[in-house]
Amino acid sequence: MSLGSAHADQLLERIESKTAKVGIVGLGYVGLPLSKAMLENGYSVIGFDVDQRKIDAISAGECYIQHLGEDFFGMLRDSESFHASSDGSVLADADAILLCVPTPLGRHNDPDLSYVLDSTRLAARHLRPGQLVVLESTTYPGTTRKEMKPILDESGMECGTEYFLAYSPEREDPGMAGRSAGQIPKLVGGVDGTSTRIAMALYERVVASAHEVSSAEIAESAKLLENIYRSINIALVNEMKTVLSDMDIDIWEVVDAAKTKPFGFQAFYPGPGLGGHCIPIDPFYLTWKAKEVGRPTRFIELAGEVNTRMPRYVINRLTEALNEDRKSINGSEILVLGIAYKKNVDDNRETPAAEIIERLAALGANISYHDPHLPRFPEMRRYELDLQSVALDENVLKESDAVLIVTDHDDVDYALVGRNASLVVDTRNAMARVPADEVSARIVKA
């Protein structure tokens, strides 16, 4: 059945025959797993990134995203079906251009679409008839149609007949087994019916399942709902933690008890604050957009307030714990365990560890950290912390006035911590893994 234009029919045929070349803009935590899924399902991939260091690493087979593994980067280096470049002109050869770029917040928690708009302009410069453009980055409803489409339309080509535009949000969960890009269901919504069908044809050949929705706006909104749902529920348990701690009630045991109910409850766990690129950021994209239509988003904003207060709560708990030992934050030796935003990955995006460390240093604490996945504190947009991971041994632990667990990596010897530290402030319930009779340290949950 014809899609109504020769360009659409030809592109669909190339996708179905897997002769289509897929261009991926942004070779990071989203773009590289997506490249892997495309390659594994028989498509040739053209990777683009403005960071020449990533291109050089790929050419050398050097791993720069730990959970993807050395073998994956070796495969990219040796593959005849993958080419990476920092020259945007390579995208002219792509039949589909998938934008996997950051969507951070500005200084005042307003959406920063500069990466999306810059990459759209890049695609527009090399746009030709018969190309599909898809945005994968999380954003507010209307971005694909109202922000991207006008830029692409400046080419003089007509969307839906000459070029095609859709939105399909990434759903990456770095480091989680069984949740690779190819295993996670995809939402697909185009700005018109033809764009939707073409994008669906591509994704349903590379992921476990592709779910078609009626518009790009539905897909954009669904992605926000997914992450706002998590933000609100994490805020709920974080707030309960602060209340129950004052009652000497263990929030982790409470959650484990509640989740025995087989319906009506999903377990979320508290922590030192939100991290990663999704939950700390995405809700603000909707709250900002809601102002355009004059609607308050008090529930979402309240969850954001609760979650952003957690680093200060952790510091208060640490301060109280040190006071009980007749010690001050000022001058204390504080060892932070884990600076990644979640366990078992080398990803520090929006990690609460950065704010916690900066605030502790401002209070006069002497900070060191140990993280088996991050040997040096990486560059961040809002923080510059010149720190390197220290070895975790008896001497380091005994010399610390307090050990603060921020990220509960599995490959940390918590028994060693329990035997040799004098005070452990645990924001992740990590010390529960060690039998109580093997722990001599005082444990404070925060």
- As averages over each run of 10 residues, the pLDDT of the chain (446 residues) reads 88 97 96 95 96 94 90 93 96 97 84 95 97 96 97 96 97 71 91 98 96 98 94 95 95 97 95 79 80 86 91 97 96 97 90 96 97 91 87 97 97 97 98 95 96
- Alpha-helix residue ranges (DSSP H) falling in 206-281: 216-246, 251-258
Residue 179: the pLDDT is 65
For residue 87, give the 3-state DSSP assignment.
coil
Tell me, what's the pLDDT at 391?
96
Whole-number Cα distances in Å, 206 to 16, 29, 184, 249: 11, 17, 10, 47
What type of residue sits at position 298?
R
Q: What is the pairing mode between strands 163-167 and 131-135?
A: parallel
Q: What's the pLDDT score for residue 366? A: 97
Contacts made by residues 66-75, CB under 8 angstroms, sequence distance 24+ = 66/345, 66/346, 66/373, 67/174, 67/175, 67/344, 67/345, 67/346, 67/347, 68/32, 68/33, 68/36, 72/32, 72/36, 75/39
Record the tokens describing residue 342, joined without a space: 């979640």
Strands (E), 180-220: 186-190, 210-212
Beta bridge partners of 370: 337
Write 13-18 long-range contacts (CB < 8 A, 24+): 14/95, 15/95, 15/96, 15/198, 15/201, 15/202, 15/205, 16/201, 16/205, 18/42, 18/43, 18/205
> d(Cα 286, Cα 191) in Å, to the nearest integer?
20
For residue 164, what pLDDT is reported? 98
Alpha-helix residue ranges (DSSP H) falling in 376-430: 394-399, 414-420
Decide if 48 contacts 83 (C-beta within 8 A).
no
Residue 175's pLDDT is what?
A: 66
Domain ranges of the chain: 6-214, 224-306, 310-445
Best CA proximity match to 143, nearest among 225, 203, 216, 198:
216
Architecture of domain 6-214: 3-Layer(aba) Sandwich (3.40)
- Tell me which long-range contacts 246-252 makes (C-beta under 8 A, separation of at least 24): 250/445, 251/445, 252/429, 252/432, 252/445
Domain pair 6-214 / 310-445, same fold: yes
Give the chain's largest Cα–Cα span: 78
**HSE-CB for 5 with a 13 A CA cutoff:** 19
* Total count of residues recorded for the chain: 446
Q: What's the CATH number for 224-306?
A: 1.10.1040.10
Candidates 63, 100, 159, 278; catalytic one: 278
Active-site annotation holds for 100: no
CATH number belonging to domain 310-445 = 3.40.50.720
